[in-house]
Structure 1
Amino acid sequence: MQEAAAIENLLQRKQDNEAAVAVMMCGVAGSGKTTFALKLEQEGFARLSIDEDIWSTHGRYGLDYPEEAYESFKEQSERKLRKELIELLAGKRHVVVDFSFWQQRRRDEYKQLIEQHGGQWVLVHLKVEPEELRRRLRIRSARFDANAAFTITEEILTRFLNGFETPAGEGEWVIEA
């Protein structure tokens, strides 16, 4: 599926459904999750981002707080955003969850959570080849914002790629770059 077609399809679902649509972004760092999520935000979806929540709450990674605090802050942020997701669904607001959802177990948890709160989930998997990820991450590392809070080294990218559980048969929409 192409990105433009996916966005059009999501906008149609948003318009056609009484239930809130919750888009779950899925992909490795640099795959374009935030770029896609921002496009949906411009179309009226509420956007939830752990990176941006940490940035606004605690500041800059390694500058305003010690690097070892990141995992704890990430857990706190996810709990907060999970509550916000439930509130948005209860209010029948369409939402895009700008997390990486790299584990099937986590995807399944969120699908169930969304359904339990009256929402309809859509899992969007952005599939990007490793060389393209490297190119994008080089560009991203030059930025200074919440979504580029720390540099993804080759070692970290390799760990991400090796640990990523690619969705298959989970009802995912695959967008290939």
Structure 2
Amino acid sequence: MHRRSLTNPHWRTVAATVSWPTRSAISPIRTISAIKRKRLVLQEEGYVLLSFDEEAWRRGYRTHPVAEEVRIEVHEHLQRRLTELVTSGSRVVVDTAFWARASRDEYRALLAPLGVAPVVYYMQTPREVSLERLERRRDTRPNDIVLPVGRAIAYMAGFEAPTPDEGPVRVIQPGNPSTADRAPTH
């Protein structure tokens, strides 16, 4: 499970959300109210949310995929912020696709010296559901960015589902109310 050190005051659960590469299934129904509900649940549980899409949006990027240098810049910012928050004792959720194991491993390596074993929440969403949700996107907010269908399909083809040999993984099925709107647990 989690690596917990009683002598390490910085140990906290850190959860990384994962779904199809488009993250179209973080909430069972991708609406503003679902996003607000997710934030509220996390805030009530004491989590800080770090979101790739929100950070890119804040920086003025309205199309995806962003350029490679922008992707690196945003991830570096998220990683710095994650390290600051975990070191200060905060519990954090990193909201990004983590479609490749290498990206999940990068965040694990960042957190290991702090005594943190992040939990990956894998939003196991059928391809057709992800594509349907992407079709409804309208570029109205960070979690509503239009992604070209061809790009989404390419991401899905290259998606590396998380496995238990990587570390703690929780699989969330679409439409399962017992897990969809819960904050991560220790």
Bucket of the pairwise TM-score, normalised by the shorter protein: 0.7 to 0.9
Aligned to 1:137: 134
Name whichever of 37-46 and 122-131 sits farther off: 37-46
Aligned to 2:69: 72
In 2, Cα distance between equivalents of 1:138 and 1:157:
11
Aligned-residue CA RMSD in angstroms?
2.6
Deviation at 1:100, TM superposition (A): 0.8
1:26 is matched by which residue type in structure 2?
A: V
Contact 2:12 2:91 in 1 (8 A): yes
Aligned to 1:53: 55
Aligned to 1:94: 91
Deviation at 1:88, TM superposition (A): 0.7
Alignment of 1:142-153 (within 5 A): 142-149=138-145, 151-153=146-148
Q: Secondary structure at the match of 2:56?
A: helix
> In the superposition, relative to structure 1, how do residues 43 and 104 fare at CA in structure 2: closer, same or farther (>3 Å)?
same
Matched, 1:116 2:126: no
Q: Deviations over 1:133-161 (max 9, x none)?
A: 1222222x135011223x22321121011
Deviation at 1:95, TM superposition (A): 0.1
Q: Secondary structure at the match of 1:96?
A: strand
2:15 is matched by which residue type in structure 1?
A: V
Deviation at 1:68, TM superposition (A): 8.7
In 2, Cα distance between equivalents of 1:103 and 1:41:
28
Q: Report the structure, 1 or 2, having the larger helix content.
A: 1
Deviation at 1:81, TM superposition (A): 1.2
Deviation at 1:168, TM superposition (A): 2.0
Aligned to 2:18: 26
Alignment: residue pair count: 155
Q: Secondary structure at the match of 1:173?
A: strand
Q: Which runs of 5+ in 2 are unaligned?
A: 1-7, 175-186
Give the TM-score normalised by structure 2. 0.73
In 2, Cα distance between equivalents of 1:69 and 1:25:
20
Deviation at 1:113, TM superposition (A): 1.7
Deviation at 1:120, TM superposition (A): 3.6
Q: Secondary structure at the match of 2:162?
A: coil
Q: Secondary structure at the match of 2:67?
A: helix
Contact 1:25 1:97 in 2 (8 A): yes
2:55 is matched by which residue type in structure 1?
A: D
Deviation at 1:121, TM superposition (A): 1.3
> In the superposition, relative to structure 1, how do residues 91 and 148 fare at CA in structure 2: closer, same or farther (>3 Å)?
same
In 2, Cα distance between equivalents of 1:26 and 1:90:
23
Give the TM-score normalised by structure 1. 0.76
Percent identity among equivalent residues? 25
2:143 is matched by which residue type in structure 1?
A: N
Q: Deviations over 1:8-51 (max 9, x none)?
A: xxxxxxxxx96211101111211216948634244321111121
